[in-house]
Chains A and B, each alone.
Chain A
Amino acid sequence: MGNKTIRVRNLSRVEGEGALYVRVRGGRLEEVELNIFEPPRFFEAFLRGRSFAEVPDLTARICGICPVAYQMSSCQALEAALGLEVVGPLRELRRLLYCGEWIESHALHIYFLHAPDFLGYPDAVRLAQDQPELVRQALRLKKTGNQLMTLLGGREIHPVNVKVGGFYRVPRKAELLAMRERLEQAREIAYQTVRFTGQLDFPDFEPDYTFVSLRQEGEYPILQGRVVSSRGLDIAVPEFERHFHEEHVAHSNALHCTLEGQPYLVGPLARYSLNSQRLPASVQAAAREAGLKPVCRNPFQSIVVRAVETLYACEEALRIIGEYEEPDAPSLKAEPKAGVGWGASEAPRGILYHRYRVDEQGLVREAQIVPPTSQNQKMIEADLRRMVAANLELPEPELTLRCEQTIRNYDPCISCATHFLRLEIEHV
């Protein structure tokens, strides 16, 4: 290895912008830093003094790709503070709305952000020139997710229909049934997506991750559950901050989160590996056909796991639509009351934790939000270290591409975590 410098200044196909710095000296890897320069927007600061009723509309604006996740974690935390629990058809409708977001977000990542790496294209539009039907199907799948969000939320980005206690308006059974045929078609496309992604080439790369996800008896985790890890952690959401700690490092505007001081992984790989047996048999069978075992440790295969979760989200949406009975009221009555509440849900990228303290007038006094990408940031750096150390002999363009792909495996949402992702590999 001679002395050389590799710089890729703009990491693309991620949501938001940031930078990666890699320093290799004398053939040895010295330093890996994932820099997140997304300008801070100070949500936790300006939420103070806002009414609890305004919070779901405000926190949605943290992320245009997963606004429902922010709305759901906010609502559940605030409902806990106000002593409410949303159950029955209202809970089912929330899960249905969330299925729409999983379908839309996963379809976007699988086909638009991730697959181009495996197929050697810069983007899905150029992929469409050679494989138009593949991209058209992807767009149909994504559109179905968006339609589900539009039906339940009023629009796909920053839905307007979510409130603390439930919804402003709930759909009639007939409105949901009108989605059935499109969802059945989406389920078929999702199944084809599982088969397609299963046939991609994956590098041998299986770190011994600590997986963390929610777990709920009887269902695959989306809306709520206990926080569990692959190393035996099993806690209720209010205990989260006793085990997980955020730290602020100089090179990033996103806080790094650790579990008992160690990096850990959240998101599809963790959710699947900790809950694959909670998937319906038909979805488990599709996963097996695509070459997935019940535990998946290869982050490059996260594209297959996202496809499996998309198939599940279609399946689950169809179940909810079939069983839906219109509730008596669109929401529970939420009255101001002093208290503290905790909420966590599974955003497409992993656990999203919220805590709020509200006063007797229902105004937020304190807000704490831990997004999935800040939880994964340390693990992304660890993966990059392993990847670079094992592939120092690769030609520069290939090594650089491999690094970018290692980051995209995580579907990082830098807008959530906090923007200019610049990749620099420096050989000193």
Chain B
Amino acid sequence: MRLKTQKPRLAVWKFASCDGCQLSILDCEDELLELAGVVEIANFLEASSAVSPGPYDLSLVEGSITTPHDAKRIQAVRRNSKFLVTLGACATSGGIQALRNFADVGEFARVVYAHPEYIHALTRSSPISEHVRVDFELRGCPVSKAQLLEVVSAYLNGRKPNIPGHSVCLECKARGTPCVMVAGGIPCLGPVTQAGCGAICPAYQRGCYACFGPQESPNPPSLSRWWTRLGVDEAAQQRAFRSFNAGAESFSKEAARHGQ
């Protein structure tokens, strides 16, 4: 028998994804037991076989919608959730699997499966916000643990999450990393990408590859001119905008500009 508790009820849901964002919850090794003390983990299939029905105070949703079944399932999740927060690039922009949106899914299925007729997939991979109202979208592929804890604590305390929308460039400055593009000639997507990861890639001597998606006021055409001067060809520029956040509007527009 489950005792009725007054603790807020947390649920974690998975759609098409790699499991990495929900794993980020279990990767909060220093905070996990404390978190479990202040919320009731009412539905988290990856971590627990104890599942209790809604309604839930906060639902964290990982993954994108890619099947007719999942398009129905997300409606039920929304109906049962007071707040719904999407976790990561798949749930927020459709993820890497949204590359199908620019291709022929039937042909994709024939490449991977001998019997494509067994496969039930939608022609597009779409973000959760295309299907239901979303209270907050947390970026990243994967999400940052610190930002994840901030969002959960904000919703549990009835306040707005403090998640900045500025670019990765500010994180490089804060970290003291010399600009890899200006000083090193390395193509970097940092200027158009939202902060949150801590500017890891430039600290490891490589350009940012935009796993947090577009920042609040990106200017991709301006960045593309830089990339052209660095010798990056059109096809490679298109591919750079077609990755984990290919479905995000400013990125898909920029990719289209770089043509075939």
Interface, chain A (partner B; CB < 8 A): 10-17, 37-46, 48, 50-51, 54, 57-58, 61-65, 67, 108, 112, 116, 122-126, 128, 132, 135-136, 139-140, 142-143, 146, 154-158, 160-161, 163, 168-169, 247-250, 253, 255, 330, 404, 413, 415, 419-420
Flag if A146 contacts B46 (CB, 8 Å): no
- In the bound complex, residues from chain A placing their C-beta under 8 Å from that of B118 are 248-250, 253
- In the bound complex, residues from chain A placing their C-beta under 8 Å from that of B211 are 158
Q: Which of A39, A46, A160, A161 contacts B66 (CB 8 A)?
A: A39
How many A-B contacts at CB < 8 Å in the complex?
190
* A64-B239 contact, Cβ under 8 Å, with A45-B111, A168-B205, A250-B118: no
* A42-B26 contact, Cβ under 8 Å, with A157-B142, A158-B142, A415-B17: no
Flag if A247 contacts B70 (CB, 8 Å): no
Return 15 A-B CB contacts under 8 Å, by A number: A10-B45, A17-B45, A45-B108, A54-B239, A64-B19, A123-B44, A126-B48, A139-B32, A142-B29, A158-B142, A160-B209, A168-B206, A169-B206, A413-B19, A419-B16
Flag if B45 contacts A45 (CB, 8 Å): no
Interface, chain B (partner A; CB < 8 A): 14-24, 26-27, 29-30, 32-33, 36, 41, 44-51, 66-67, 69-70, 95-97, 99-100, 103, 105, 107-109, 111-115, 118-119, 121, 125, 141-142, 197, 200-201, 203-206, 209, 211, 236, 239, 243-244
Flag if B47 contacts A158 (CB, 8 Å): no
Flag if A16 contacts B29 (CB, 8 Å): no
Distance, CA A155 to CA B201, complexed state (A):
10
Closest to B113 in A: A248
- In the bound complex, residues from chain A placing their C-beta under 8 Å from that of B99 are 42, 46
Closest to A152 in B: B204
Flag if A14 contacts B50 (CB, 8 Å): no
Flag if A140 contacts B142 (CB, 8 Å): no
Flag if A45 contacts B107 (CB, 8 Å): yes
- In the bound complex, residues from chain B placing their C-beta under 8 Å from that of A125 are 32-33, 36, 41, 47-48
Most buried by A among B21, B109, B200, B236: B200
The minimal Cβ–Cβ distance linking B210 to chain A, given in whole angstroms, is 11
- In the bound complex, residues from chain B placing their C-beta under 8 Å from that of A126 are 48, 50
Flag if A51 contacts B239 (CB, 8 Å): yes
Q: Which of A116, A128, A413 contacts B36 (CB 8 A)?
A: A128
Closest to A67 in B: B20
* A39-B70 contact, Cβ under 8 Å, with A10-B51, A142-B29: yes
Label chain A's interface by main secondary structure: loop
- In the bound complex, residues from chain B placing their C-beta under 8 Å from that of A12 are 45-49, 51
* Other contacts beyond A112-B26, A143-B30, A146-B27: 6, CB < 8 A: A10-B51, A41-B96, A42-B112, A51-B239, A61-B96, A125-B47
- In the bound complex, residues from chain B placing their C-beta under 8 Å from that of A142 are 27, 29
Flag if B239 contacts A65 (CB, 8 Å): no
Flag if B115 contacts A250 (CB, 8 Å): yes
* A146-B29 contact, Cβ under 8 Å, with A42-B97, A158-B211: yes
Flag if A154 contacts B112 (CB, 8 Å): no
Q: Which of B22, B48, B66 contacts A123 (CB 8 A)?
A: B48
The minimal Cβ–Cβ distance linking B94 to chain A, given in whole angstroms, is 11
- In the bound complex, residues from chain A placing their C-beta under 8 Å from that of B47 are 12-13, 112, 123-125
- In the bound complex, residues from chain A placing their C-beta under 8 Å from that of B17 are 64, 415
Flag if B29 contacts A61 (CB, 8 Å): no
Most buried by B among A42, A253, A420: A42
- In the bound complex, residues from chain A placing their C-beta under 8 Å from that of B16 are 38-39, 41, 419
Q: Which of A15, A253, A420 contacts B119 (CB 8 A)?
A: A253
Flag if A39 contacts B121 (CB, 8 Å): yes
Closest to B17 in A: A415
Q: Which of B27, B70, B209 contacts A57 (CB 8 A)?
A: B209
* A64-B21 contact, Cβ under 8 Å, with A116-B49, A419-B14: yes
Distance, CA A14 to CA B44, complexed state (A):
11
Most buried by A among B19, B44, B97, B203: B19
The minimal Cβ–Cβ distance linking B10 to chain A, given in whole angstroms, is 11
- In the bound complex, residues from chain A placing their C-beta under 8 Å from that of B236 are 51
Flag if B141 contacts A61 (CB, 8 Å): yes
- In the bound complex, residues from chain B placing their C-beta under 8 Å from that of A419 are 14-16
- In the bound complex, residues from chain B placing their C-beta under 8 Å from that of A413 are 19
- In the bound complex, residues from chain A placing their C-beta under 8 Å from that of B107 are 45
Flag if A41 contacts B46 (CB, 8 Å): no
Flag if A156 contacts B27 (CB, 8 Å): yes
- In the bound complex, residues from chain A placing their C-beta under 8 Å from that of B49 are 12-13, 116, 122-123, 404
Flag if B141 contacts A158 (CB, 8 Å): yes
- In the bound complex, residues from chain B placing their C-beta under 8 Å from that of A112 are 26, 47
Distance, CA A124 to CA B211, complexed state (A):
31
- In the bound complex, residues from chain A placing their C-beta under 8 Å from that of B111 are 42, 44-45, 48
Closest to B206 in A: A168
Flag if B201 contacts A154 (CB, 8 Å): yes
The minimal Cβ–Cβ distance linking A128 to chain B, given in whole angstroms, is 6
Distance, CA A169 to CA B36, complexed state (A):
37
